[in-house]
Structure 1
Amino acid sequence: MELNTITRRCRRLLGLMLLGTSIHSLGAPATPANTLTLQDALTRTLTHNPALYQYRFHKAALLASKQNDALSPALAVELNVENIAGTGAKQGVQEAETTLALSSMIELGGKQQARLTYADARIRHAQYQHQATSLDVLAQLTTHYIESLATQANRELAQRSLDFTHSLLDTMSVRAQRGATPEAEVLRAKAAVARADMQLTALQRKFERQKIQLARYWGETQTPFQRLDGSLFEFGASEPFAELYQRAQRSPALQVFASEKRLQEAQLSLAHADQRSDLTWRLGVKHFAATDDAALTAGVSMPLFANQRGSTQVKAAQAKRDAIDYAETDQRLRLHAQLFNAYSLRQQGIDNATKMAEVVIPALEQALELTQTAYDNGRYQYQDLMAAREELLAARQARIDAATTALVSQALIEQLTGAPFTQ
Structure 2
Amino acid sequence: MVTPFFTPTRFVRHTHCGFKKLIFICLFIGWQISFAQAESTNNTLTLNTALKRTIEQNPSLKVFDFRNTALNGQMKIAELKPAYELGFEAENFSGSNEFSGFDGAELTVSLSSVLEMGDKRAARRGIVSSGRSVLDAQRQVESLELLGEVTRRYVDVLAVQEQVSLAKEANELAGETLNIVKKRANAGATPDAEVKRAQAAAAQARLTLLSTQQQLDYLKVSLAALWGDTSPNFARVEGDLYHFGTDVEFNTLFAKMEKNPAIRIFAAEERLRDAEIRVAKTQSKADISWSVGVRRFQANDDSALVAGFSMPLFSSSRNSGAVSTALAQRNEIYVQKEVALLSMHTQLFRAFHNRRQAIIAAKELQSTIIPALSDALKETQTAYQRGRYGYLEYVSARQELLNARRTLIESASSALTYGTEIEQLTAEPLSATQYGDSTKFSGSVR
Q: Are residue 11 (structure 1) and residue 20 (structure 2) matched?
A: no
Cα drift, residue 5 of structure 1: 4.2
For 1:270, the equivalent position in structure 2 comes to: 279
Q: Are residue 176 (structure 1) and residue 185 (structure 2) matched?
A: yes
For 1:181 and 1:8, how far apart are their aligned partners in 2?
A: 69
Cα drift, residue 95 of structure 1: 3.2
Query: Which of 38, 42, 45 is the equivalent residue of 2:47?
Result: 38
Equivalent residues of 1:62, 1:123 under 8 A apart: yes
For 1:327, the equivalent position in structure 2 comes to: 336
Equivalent residues of 1:11, 1:42 under 8 A apart: no
Question: Identity, % of aligned pairs?
Answer: 36
Cα drift, residue 181 of structure 1: 3.6
1:96 counterpart letter in structure 2: A
1:353 counterpart letter in structure 2: A
For 1:284, the equivalent position in structure 2 comes to: 293
Deviations 1:273-303 (A, max 9, x none): 1111101111122233333332222111111
TM-score, normalised relative to structure 2? 0.89
Equivalent residues of 1:47, 1:53 under 8 A apart: no
For 1:176 and 1:79, how far apart are their aligned partners in 2?
A: 114
Question: SS of the residue aligned with 1:378?
Answer: coil
1:23-422 matched pairs, under 5 angstroms: 23-25=33-35, 27-28=36-37, 31-422=40-431
Equivalent residues of 2:359, 2:412 under 8 A apart: yes
1:377 counterpart letter in structure 2: R
Equivalent residues of 2:29, 2:147 under 8 A apart: no
1:348 counterpart letter in structure 2: Q
Cα drift, residue 29 of structure 1: 7.7
Deviations 1:84-132 (A, max 9, x none): 4444443333333322211111100111111112211111111111112
Residues 376 and 359 (structure 1 numbering): CA distance in 2 closer, same or farther, change over 3 Å? same
Cα drift, residue 355 of structure 1: 0.2
Residues 341 and 100 (structure 1 numbering): CA distance in 2 closer, same or farther, change over 3 Å? same
For 1:218 and 1:6, how far apart are their aligned partners in 2?
A: 24
For 1:51 and 1:29, how far apart are their aligned partners in 2?
A: 25
Equivalent residues of 2:115, 2:288 under 8 A apart: yes
Deviates more, 1:340-349 or 1:78-87: 78-87
Equivalent residues of 2:137, 2:261 under 8 A apart: yes
Unaligned runs of 5+ in 2: 1-11, 433-446
Equivalent residues of 1:7, 1:46 under 8 A apart: no
Unaligned runs of 5+ in 1: none
Question: SS of the residue aligned with 2:28?
Answer: helix
Equivalent residues of 2:109, 2:295 under 8 A apart: yes
Residues 166 and 292 (structure 1 numbering): CA distance in 2 closer, same or farther, change over 3 Å? farther
Deviations 1:17-41 (A, max 9, x none): 533xx1132x448643422211111
Deviations 1:354-390 (A, max 9, x none): 0000000000000010111111112222222211111
Cα drift, residue 4 of structure 1: 7.3
For 2:435, the equivalent position in structure 1 comes to: none
For 2:62 and 2:70, how far apart are their aligned partners in 1?
A: 14
TM-score, normalised relative to structure 1? 0.94
Residues 83 and 221 (structure 1 numbering): CA distance in 2 closer, same or farther, change over 3 Å? farther
| Length, aligned pairs only | 420
2:418 counterpart letter in structure 1: S
2:394 counterpart letter in structure 1: L
2:191 counterpart letter in structure 1: P
For 1:405 and 1:132, how far apart are their aligned partners in 2?
A: 23
Residues 14 and 29 (structure 1 numbering): CA distance in 2 closer, same or farther, change over 3 Å? closer
For 1:216 and 1:7, how far apart are their aligned partners in 2?
A: 25
Residues 5 and 189 (structure 1 numbering): CA distance in 2 closer, same or farther, change over 3 Å? farther
Question: SS of the residue aligned with 1:250?
Answer: coil
